[in-house]
Chain A
Amino acid sequence: MIDEQHEELASLHALDLLEGSELAQFEKRLGGDPELQALVASLREAAAAVAHTAPAVRPPATLKDRVLASIEALEKPAAAAGNVIRPSPSVFRPTAFIPWAVAASLVVATVWLGQRYMSVRTEAESLQQAQKVADLALRETQQQLEAERIIARRQMQETQQQVAATGTQLETTRAQLTDRERQLAEARDQTAERERLIAETRNQLTTREREIATLTQRIDIFTGATEEIGRKLGEAQQQVARLTDELKSQGDLATFKITALASLLKNSPQALAVAVWDPGKQEGVLKVEKLPALLANQDYQLWIVDPQYPNPVDGGVFTVDPAKGERTIKFKAKQPVGAVNAFAVTLERKGGVPKAEGPFVLLGK
């Protein structure tokens, strides 16, 4: 009776799954146990049947040809005893000559066929040798290919590692590049901002320059206007001065003492004179007409009658044009004059006198 454990070992053995000491121990037991051997054999049959569960495959015709060609090239596994021709005892009989002749012909034919067979066999052996050489070369090539495949795989792994390392470096470089690009973008933004500020400043500058130009124009205009105003002011001032003068003169004239002097001469009754006195300036103008010509030792002398003095105040001497008897003179009083009551002209000796001595020629109040 086989226990479960050995059934299990037999099952595993049938599938060639036993290894090492387990296999050794089982085979030791198997060697002396026919029942176990029978179990293993039957389980091997069952295991072999599992081959049928593989997907159905129709073998190509070339495979059979190849297998048959291979066994053809090999020697037969065993000499077939039945193929040996054994000669039988023979007795010469004339009647049997014909069969012998036929047999001889067959022998000749057999010899020929034998030679032919040997020739073909030699050729086949030659081909077999060539095939063996080719097989060896094929195996060598397969081994070389396998070695090259292994080497190529290692190289591929190294290359993959290098590619991975390069990839890492590339990532780092990309990250740096990204950082630089970001910095560059920031710098560009800053540059753009500064350019914008510069442009803005330029615009402001242009605006200011324009404003300055406008202001300059205005200043020029204002300067021109100022000059014009100054000029006009000057003119106005002049006008004011003139007007002031006029007013002043009008004021002065109001204060002026204008007196017409009449002739007191019997021989020259037509003689006349006008005296204008400016009390402010303490001076005056005397215009005479048709006075008689003077002698060489004579002068006319003007007198200003002021009540504050007992004697007329000396107004100076003058001569006239002997032909027309005319003369206009500016005169000043020898003493300060307060009020003028009258003007008088006397005929005096040359150079005048401090106190009227000669006759009155003209008199006016």
Chain B
Amino acid sequence: MSISITCFPDGLFHAVAEREGIPTGRERGRMTPPTATNPTPPDERQQIDAQLLQRVAKGDKQAFGELYDRFSGPLLGAAQQILRDSAEAQDIVHDAFVTVWEKSATFEVTRGSAFAWAVTLVRNRAIDRVRMRRRRADLLAQSVPSDFGYADAATETIGSDSAALGDDARAVRAAVSTLPVEQKRALELAFFSGLTQEEIARKLSAPLGTVKARIRRGLLKLRESLALRP
């Protein structure tokens, strides 16, 4: 379908795209990220995502393709970070996108962004798999690994390939980098490890109350930095 679109004159395509809320090739096809001085605001990005999801709900495969292009990178990165397995991560992302296609009609814009929904779909599946591995490990009376594969210095696990990052990634990384190290570490463990509160506390060798407070403060500060007001 995208091939037929390319047959339209540029002006006609952009006119249609703007009417239907589809990001034009100026945004989609841009190989280099936008400059830091002119990033797409979060609200605008969420709006575009929501419009695409509404079109997907109507069976628009082109919109689905667009949504895939916008989400698949961070979703696959997160899945791989949780699972530490490329093939399993791809399976998870595949299943999540199939679910998006199937359940997009039930998605309520008021309850959150399309990206947050997609992240939840991927993360839940990935953490389920991680916990299944742990249950198997428990079944085999094996001790739970002390480290699920995360480096102690979490910042090192964040890729430095800035050219491949989108606006969101850069903005989030910049926001996370401003967090105190202990808050950042607590947040990353909470998001990627699949550990319970108590396990995170043990791993960080910190009291449970302290860990909860770090998560609260870290998440609130991140929300503040990303201008994600309720």
Q: Does A47 contact B (CB under 8 A)?
A: yes
Interface residue ranges of A17-74 to B (CB < 8 Å): 17, 19, 35, 38-39, 41-60, 63-64, 66-68, 70-72, 74
Give A50 to B58 CA distance when docked, in angstroms: 30
Whether B77 contacts A55 by the Cβ 8 Å rule is: yes
Whether A54 contacts B59 by the Cβ 8 Å rule is: no
Whether B77 contacts A57 by the Cβ 8 Å rule is: yes
Whether B73 contacts A71 by the Cβ 8 Å rule is: no
Whether A150 contacts B136 by the Cβ 8 Å rule is: yes
Give A68 to B97 CA distance when docked, in angstroms: 9
Whether A77 contacts B230 by the Cβ 8 Å rule is: no
Whether A50 contacts B197 by the Cβ 8 Å rule is: no
Interface residue ranges of B51-86 to A (CB < 8 Å): 56-59, 61, 64-65, 68-69, 72-78, 80-81
B188 in complex: contacting residue of A17, A53, A76, A153, CB < 8 Å: A53
Which residues of the other chain, B, contact A49 by a CB distance below 8 angstroms?
168, 172, 175, 222, 226, 228
**Do most interface residues of chain B lie in helix, strand or loop, or is the interface mixed?**
helix
16 additional A-B pairs beyond A52-B172, A56-B169, A63-B94, beta carbons within 8 Å, are A17-B215, A45-B226, A46-B220, A46-B223, A49-B172, A49-B228, A51-B74, A52-B168, A56-B165, A63-B76, A64-B72, A68-B65, A70-B98, A77-B59, A77-B103, A78-B59
Counting from the closest, the 10 A-B pairs by CB-CB distance are A38-B230, A76-B59, A55-B159, A54-B77, A51-B78, A48-B116, A54-B81, A52-B172, A46-B223, A56-B159
Point out residues on B near A: beta carbons under 8 Å.
Answer: 56-59, 61, 64-65, 68-69, 72-78, 80-81, 90, 93-94, 97-98, 101-105, 111-113, 115-116, 119-120, 122-124, 127, 136, 139-140, 157-159, 161, 164-165, 168-169, 171-173, 175-176, 187-188, 190-192, 196-197, 200, 212-213, 215-216, 219-220, 222-223, 226, 228-230
Point out residues on A near B: beta carbons under 8 Å.
Answer: 4, 7-8, 11-12, 14-17, 19, 35, 38-39, 41-60, 63-64, 66-68, 70-72, 74, 76-80, 146, 150, 153-154, 157
